[in-house]
Amino acid sequence: MKFFNSSTNFESVLKKYFSFKNETLSLEPFAEFLESIKKTDFTDVLNFFRNNPNFAENFKHYIHNIFAGRPFNLSLTEANILSENAFFPELKKRILNKILPPVENEKTVWFMVDNISLRPKADLKYLHNLPENEINELLKIFGAADFITKAKVKKEMIFAMSILSWRATGMAMEVEVVRMAPQYRNFDNPFLALQNELEGLAEDLEKNPDLQLHSKDSRYKQIKIYTEQCLEFVNIAFKNSSKYGISGKINQSLLKIRQQMQRVYDIINLLVIDTEEDILIKSKQLIFNILSYKSHKNNISELINDSTRLISHLITNHTAETGAHYITSTRKEYMKMFYKASGGGIIVGALCVLKMLYGYIPGSDFSHAFLYSMNYAMGFVMIYLMGFTLATKQPAMTAATMTKVLSEEGNTKNDRTEFAHLVSKLFRSQFIAFVGNVLLSFPIALAIIYGLDVFFSQNLAVDRSDKLLKDLDPFHSKAILHASIAGFYLFISGIISGNIGNNSVFFQIPERIAKNLSIRRLFGAKFAKGLSKYYAKNWPGIVSNFWFGVFLGATAPVGLFFGLDLDIRHITFAAGNFAIGLYGKDFSVDSYTFWISFVTVFLIGFFNFLVSFSLSMFLAFRSRKLNFGQVSEIYKEIFRYFFKNPLKFFLPISSGLDKRADDMMSNTMSTKSEDH
């Protein structure tokens, strides 16, 4: 289709093509006409047709001629409905269609819409903005005001519903899909019942081409009921996803079934005519629906949003269950968090020295990447298995918990105040974890490097001290950027933990271990059951901590290999490196170096927290269809609560809100199997 002259006037187009009875099947006259009327007042177009009935008649003849013999069922069964059962093939297909539109059958309405409209979304918006009475008059001029009553149109619509129903039934019968909604195993399947009703309706239309449905028609009511039951099947399957887990393929299948059933629901409602006015309304609606479906057929953002929202919800849901354990309520829990963080600080102090020693080993960048990665990974896994805490691991977990509470509680003044108090408990838990990590990692790293000095009679930190202290100066290094990179990795590790948890539930790994005959015969049923519980409880944490260590250890060497100044800064490691740097300088540093390094340690912790918590909150908000605008009042309440009670954000001060805030969180955590 060629690009049209922007100065083309609609009258000149009509005179060029429709001053006579045009028998052409070319789409160019229609395309030029639509392009030209957008540049003028639509009232002038209608006035021209009113004053020139010959042009109107010739144009009507042309419209009927080009639409004759062109089926439109593809526009109902294919447009804006997933065509693949997996996310990446669908994404690849849509991107290709965006760049190189597919070659379609020229004898279809699908082909017509693609070739008449260069910008389908903009054209649809233009038509929507026209006054309703003017659109109605144009349809009458085209002779399309009553086409919904034509036997051929009704036959195509019923055929489209049958195709959609067959496809949905096939997917709904798959074992893994049925497993998501076991409630339907003992009931009549609504998909099969819907298919029977549609086949009966098609037979009735074949016998009586003048058949017209109305809102009290038993056939319409049955089809509507079965369609609603099919949609409920999908809703129940999604609702059970927290209980049974879900895979990307099943998620995509359920989304596709939902789209197909919703399309059936839309089509059957268009076939219902109760009054004379409904004929024009439904005819117009069918046209707008086809244009709307086509304008979204290759929408990539909608695909990503729909396909990833449930998975991100499940990831954050499993992460939220873990995050609940990181929020302290009582003074005893507060001190327990300090002790656990102190244990983490001890191990990190040792890891700092080990990393420094690995740096002296000659080897390639990738050999150092391996050594650093294993150093961090084994250390983090050890911290996790020993029940200690790495402070910055918490934000990615607690963000999901907070959003889970937020999405399931009300938005009254009391709820907002209780939530603000819950935030204060979260903040002080983070604060004491930071303190525990930093207070122990600094002296432990110092003690170990001193012990090595005594043992080997050599200060091993001398060669590294300048770099370690320079890395803690935000004005002479990229400390803030590197702290943000570490925060991003913390966020990714939270996703890994939630994803492993979801996969564990979906593939029933703990149950498989507990019932595995080989394990039961070799080690006994009790061992198998214990291993099953241990796996369910610890495996997501082990995997996420391992990969978090790999990310931290590999970033600097890989960045060096590619010539990029990439590295990570983590508050606990920064404290340990500060100690090693001071010892390497024999504590002879100027006051600027000391204080800028001291402040930067906590600045690094702030950016570790900010990035990981913000990204996790974004993911959790998105997964539950919340946005920051919806919770602006809650943010304001949190700030008000902070200015009224600042010490509660740092110290375990008891409050009358404690019990209600705890109940808010515990009630939410207990609804895991009911999430949807």
Tell me the C-alpha distance between 621 and 643, whole Å. 26
Task: Report DSSP letters for 13-58, one per residue.
Answer: HHHHHHSS------SHHHHHHHHHHTTS-HHHHHHHHHH-HHHHHH
Q: Residue 359: enclosing H or E segment and its boundaries? A: helix 331-359
Q: Which of 54-58, 183-187, 403-407, 576-580 is predicted most confidently?
A: 576-580
Dump pLDDT digits (tens) for 422-463: 778 878 888 888 899 999 999 999 999 999 999 989 999 999
Q: 3-class SS at 656?
A: coil
- Fill in the amino acid letter for 229: Q
User: Which of 42-46, 61-65, 317-321 has the least mean pLDDT?
Assistant: 317-321
Tell me the C-alpha distance between 286 and 266, whole Å. 9
Tell me the C-alpha distance between 347 and 375, whole Å. 11
Split at pLDDT 50, 70, 90, the class of 672 is: very low
Tokens of 109: 């309405």
Average pLDDT of the chain, as a whole number:
83
- Return the percentage of the chain with pLDDT > 70, whole number: 85
- DSSP conformational letter for 588: -
Dump pLDDT digits (tens) for 258-278: 999 999 999 999 999 999 899
- Fill in the amino acid letter for 20: F
Residue of 580, 551, 241, 568 whose CA lies nearest to 442: 580
C-beta separation of 315 from 493 below 8 A: no
> Does residue 197 register a pLDDT over 60?
yes
C-alpha torsion 430→433→439→444, nearest 10: -140
> What is the per-residue pLDDT for 414?
56
HSE, side-chain direction, 13 A CA sphere, residue 61: 14
User: Which of 196-205, 360-369, 375-384, 497-506 has the least mean pLDDT?
Assistant: 497-506
Tell me the C-alpha distance between 516 and 630, whole Å. 48
- DSSP conformational letter for 646: G
Tell me the C-alpha distance between 176 and 174, whole Å. 6
C-beta separation of 392 from 494 below 8 A: no
Contacts of 307 (CB under 8 A, 6+ apart): 87, 90, 248, 251, 252, 255
- DSSP conformational letter for 392: G
Q: Residue 417: enclosing H or E segment and its boundaries? A: helix 413-456
Q: Residue 260: enclosing H or E segment and its boundaries? A: helix 248-270
Tokens of 675: 């999430």
Residue of 446, 453, 431, 494 whose CA lies nearest to 346: 446
> What is the per-residue pLDDT for 486?
92
> What is the per-residue pLDDT for 5?
45
The pTM score is: 0.73
Partners of 213 in beta bridges? 272
> Does residue 128 register a pLDDT over 90?
no
Split at pLDDT 50, 70, 90, the class of 564 is: confident
> What is the per-residue pLDDT for 2?
41
> Does residue 192 register a pLDDT over 70?
yes
What integer is the mean pLDDT of 610-619?
78
Backbone angles phi, psi at 409, to 5 degrees: -100, 165
Tell me the C-alpha distance between 367 and 380, whole Å. 20
What integer is the mean pLDDT of 112-117?
76
Angle at which helix 658-669 crosses helix 413-456, to 10 degrees, equals: 90
Query: What does the longest C-alpha to C-alpha distance in the chain come to?
Result: 107
> Does residue 7 register a pLDDT over 70?
no
Tell me the C-alpha distance between 215 and 222, whole Å. 11
Backbone angles phi, psi at 390, to 5 degrees: -105, 115
Tell me the C-alpha distance between 136 and 46, whole Å. 11
Residue with tokens 């057929």: 297
User: Which of 172-181, 282-291, 299-308, 531-540 has the least mean pLDDT?
Assistant: 299-308
Sign of the CA dihedral with 485 first, then 487, 490, and 495 last: negative
Partners of 272 in beta bridges? 213
Residue with tokens 């990738």: 366
Q: How many degrees, rounded to 5, is the angle at CA 253 between CA 286 and CA 169?
A: 70
Tell me the C-alpha distance between 367 and 365, whole Å. 6
Tell me the C-alpha distance between 647 and 475, whole Å. 32
> What is the per-residue pLDDT for 636?
80
Tell me the C-alpha distance between 430 and 609, whole Å. 9
Q: Which of 106-110, 245-249, 471-475, 557-561 is predicted most confidently?
A: 471-475
Tell me the C-alpha distance between 310 and 261, whole Å. 19
Tokens of 335: 């001190």
Cα separations in angstroms, 585 against 348, 577, 579, 590: 21, 12, 10, 11
Burial code (b: 16+ CB inside 10 Å, e: under 16) for 180-196 equals: bbeebeeeebbbebbbe
Cα separations in angstroms, 487 against 349, 552, 616, 622: 20, 10, 10, 19
> What is the per-residue pLDDT for 407?
57
Neighbour-count burial of 57, counting CB atoms closer than 10 A to its CB (0-12 exposed, 13-18 middle, 19+ buried): middle
- DSSP conformational letter for 672: G
Tell me the C-alpha distance between 289 and 503, whole Å. 38
Q: How many degrees, rounded to 5, is the angle at CA 362 between CA 587 and CA 544?
A: 80
Q: 3-class SS at 629?
A: coil
Split at pLDDT 50, 70, 90, the class of 313 is: low
C-beta separation of 676 from 235 below 8 A: yes
> What is the per-residue pLDDT for 100?
78
